[in-house]
């Protein structure tokens, strides 16, 4: 694409990825404007204002390559459209994904619209994915591909979006940062909650959600220990349970928010962790005219970094879909997203609400049936 003379507003986070994007866009002849978003005001656990530190890095990079930059404050929008929903879902016992919410509600809505008011012909971000004629395509670096987090973007928005590093491996991005001697060249990749950063997750949540002591129980209902509230645990979780002796590894296999119990069992591959179907709501297709002839077979991920899994969308009724997998899936988690693919093209996704019967449940029912014969 010829960007010479085009105005490109680039979302800059203070990280190495968006810094390299700024260089690449300018080298293509674009009039680049760096735009930094402040979405969170509270201090981190070390007492630092992370947003201020990140903005200093944005300014250093922009000054070095001589492009204008601005800071915009979306703290109110982030709280109302991302963080409040994030907390509500946790309170219901779900495990929400704030990165997906943030991309849908802030980066590709509020931020996108702000960029257009600055005269943007295009909006750019440092995501590892590609845009092929308004189709969202996986990034060249399979270890960094971020299409999972972007599945809720619409094709009419993608028409004006650029992903300058989507065709590069992360190693090359680091090399470019070194080559142009950017301040962010040795900066670690950001982790943790979108725009909030790294936190000791449970204590962070406990600032907003009440503790409610309850019991860890096994599948036979036997008490194994106590916890501070079922909402603070997620399916498949091993760390932070405080159960068992040396060498014993317990995993969360279920939880009941009404009874405030967390069901645990030993073994990472316990049958209770596996199911081959799910139901999902809040369905979004990147192309609004996406033709889905049911049953529809494709690939899907139920979590970031998971390998694509073959599945079939069996039916969609009243906005709810039923998805069945060819092979059992471990720790399908309500609140997370299932994202659909055809090859390298991301089609869209939905929010997981219900898990199909686990293999433990099915085996138990089969044993009961055999005993009754």
- For strand 320-330 and strand 337-342, is the pairing parallel, antiparallel, or unpaired? unpaired
- Tell how far CA 69 is from the center of its chain: 27
The tokens describing 219, both together, are: 């599948």
Alpha helices in the chain (DSSP H): 16-27, 50-65, 75-78, 84-91, 98-102, 111-117, 155-158, 170-179, 201-206, 359-372
Distance CA 350, CA 302 (A): 10
Q: Which of 21, 62, 102, 129 is catalytic?
A: 102
Distance CA 130, CA 23 (A): 18
Q: By C-alpha distance, which of 341, 350, 351, 349 is closest to 137?
A: 341
Q: By C-alpha distance, which of 127, 89, 102 is closest to 40?
A: 102
Task: Specify whether 21 is catalytic.
Answer: no
Radius of gyration from C-alpha coordinates of the chain: 23
Q: Which of 21, 62, 129, 194 is catalytic?
A: 194
Give the max Cα distance, the chain.
80
Q: By C-alpha distance, which of 300, 258, 252, 295 is closest to 276?
A: 300
Task: Specify whether 346 is catalytic.
Answer: no
Q: Strand order in 69-73's β-sheet? A: 69-73, 31-38, 7-11, 122-124, 161-162
Give me the active site residues, please. 102, 194
């Amino acid at each position: 694409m010829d960007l010479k003379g085009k105005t490109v507003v680039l979302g800059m986070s203070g990280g190495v990825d968006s810094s390299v994007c700024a260089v690449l866009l300018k080298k293509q002849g674009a009039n680049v404007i760096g735009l930094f978003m402040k979405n969170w005001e509270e201090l981190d656990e070390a007492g630092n204002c992370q947003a201020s530190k990140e903005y200093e890095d944005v300014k250093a990079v922009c000054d070095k390559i001589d492009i204008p930059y601005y800071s915009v404050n979306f703290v109110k929008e982030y709280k109302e459209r991302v963080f409040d929903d994030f907390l509500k879902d946790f309170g219901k016992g779900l495990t929400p994904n704030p990165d997906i919410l943030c991309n849908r509600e802030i980066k590709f809505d509020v931020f996108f619209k702000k960029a257009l008011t600055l005269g943007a012909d295009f909006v750019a971000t440092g995501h590892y994915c590609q845009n092929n004629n308004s189709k969202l395509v996986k990034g060249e670096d399979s270890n960094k591909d971020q299409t999972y987090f972007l599945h809720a973007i619409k094709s009419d928005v993608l028409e004006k979006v650029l992903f300058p590093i989507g065709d590069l491996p992360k190693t090359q991005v680091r090399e470019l940062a070194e080559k142009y001697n950017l301040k962010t060249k040795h900066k670690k990749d950001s982790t943790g909650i979108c725009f909030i950063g790294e936190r000791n997750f449970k204590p962070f949540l406990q600032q907003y959600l009440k503790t409610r002591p309850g019991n860890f129980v096994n599948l036979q209902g036997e008490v194994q220990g106590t916890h501070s509230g079922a909402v603070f645990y997620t399916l498949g979780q091993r760390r932070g349970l405080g159960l068992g002796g040396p060498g014993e590894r317990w995993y969360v296999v279920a939880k009941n928010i009404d009874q405030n119990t967390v069901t645990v069992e030993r073994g990472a591959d316990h049958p209770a962790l596996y199911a081959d179907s799910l139901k999902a709501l809040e369905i979004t297709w990147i192309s609004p005219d996406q033709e889905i002839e049911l049953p529809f077979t494709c690939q899907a991920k139920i979590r970031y970094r998971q390998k694509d899994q073959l599945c079939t969308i069996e039916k969609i009724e009243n906005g709810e879909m039923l998805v069945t997998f060819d092979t059992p899936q471990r720790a399908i988690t309500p609140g997370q997203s299932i994202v659909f693919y055809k090859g390298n093209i991301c089609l869209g996704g939905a929010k997981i609400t219900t898990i199909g019967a686990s293999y433990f449940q099915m085996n138990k029912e089969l044993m009961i049936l055999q005993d009754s014969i």
